[in-house]
Amino acid sequence: MGDLICISGVTKHYGDDFALRDVNLSVPRGCVTGFVGANGAGKTTTIKAILGLVSIESGSIELFGEPFGMNADGERSRRAKERIGVVFDTCPYVGELSVKMAGRIMAASYSSWDAGRFADYLRRFSLDPKKKVKDLSRGMGMKLQLACALAHDPELLILDEATAGLDPLARDEILDMLRDYMKDERRGILMSSHITTDLEKIADTVACIDNGRIVFDMEKDLITDMAGIGRCRAADYERVLASGRYAPGELRVMRNAYGVDLLVADRFAFAQQFPEIACDKASIEDYMQLVLKGDIR
């Protein structure tokens, strides 16, 4: 069905301090792409580049199969923006506005704005239309952004830390709403988050950025169903290395007080060959930690 987002070879420098380097990332229709990485790794910069909010030095950005970005044709950009809903980690509306007025201002930007749909989301989220933006809790502010992002029925949602600072119940409520949104398979979501357990619940693929480079981009199930963490004592570890089962560079290794943790791509194959070594399912957090901080063996 084609990609909603496809960026390739994107490079962007912020002086000498930071750069996105050759970033490739895609969000196919029907897919929720989780975007992870440490603080300052480049998630927001990538998202801003996708949205044409920062210029890039090289590479290409396509939204809905057409070129997009700061230099794209104005009319084409405007049409693409109509098809996108965006939520950032801080509520962007002026504090003195009421919830209802914030919606009215957003309505002016979208020809497909549906006031009834906006009112439905306010009800669903228990948001009082008369309440001022400055008096909303963080969770309420995020829900208002989501209501605004969804009221024009976008095909693509871009969420930058949209569940940060929310309690588990509020996060689950938002994840439920995103699942509803994804019932239409023409849609897709790019969702950056430090809360990797949220991504375990909803993402189809997970891309990880580190110091401006994509270090992995893969189906989530390959992490959470297939990959494993072998919990080795020193002697176990030596036996795994000596077995010749793993090619040089294939394993990620992290030493701890109890022995050595090994990241393996296929925990079933590992368990078959080394049944005496405990091998746990990997979480996205385990996987990131071993890929980003582990030694390569």
Q: Catalog residues that contact ligand ATP under the rule CB under 6 A.
A: 14, 17-18, 37, 39-45
Question: Least Å distance between CB 268 and ligand ATP?
Answer: 33
Helix 115-124 × helix 99-107 angle, to 10°: 150
Which of 45/224 has CB closer to ligand ATP? Answer: 45
The CB density around residue 165, as the number of other CB atoms within 10 Å, is 15
DSSP secondary structure string for all residues of 105-122: HHHTT-TT--HHHHHHHH
Closer residue to ligand ATP, CB minimum distance, 48 or 297: 48
On the 0-12 / 13-18 / 19+ scale of CB atoms within 10 A, 65 is: exposed
Closest to ligand ATP by CB, 15 vs 249, is 15
Half-sphere exposure of 169 (CA within 13 A, CB side): 2
Helix (H) or strand (E) holding 21: strand 18-28
Find the distance separating the first CA and the last CA of the chain, reported in whole Å.
Answer: 39
**Which one, 14 or 258, has the nearer CB to ligand ATP?**
14
Q: Name every residue whose Cβ is closer than 8 Å to that of residue 62 and which is 6 or more positions away in sequence.
A: 3, 5, 6, 7, 68
Q: Minimum distance between the CB of residue 161 and ligand ATP, rounded to whole angstroms?
A: 6
54/97 with CB nearer ligand ATP: 54
Q: What's the min distance (Å) between Cβ of 209 and ligand ATP?
A: 7
Measure Cα distances from 277 to 236, 261, 271 in Å: 7, 11, 7
Least distance to ligand ATP, CB of residue 189, Å: 17
Instruction: Select 160 or 286, whichever has its Cβ closest to ligand ATP.
Output: 160
| CB of 163 vs ligand ATP, minimal distance in Å | 13
Shortest Å, Cβ 288 to ligand ATP:
13
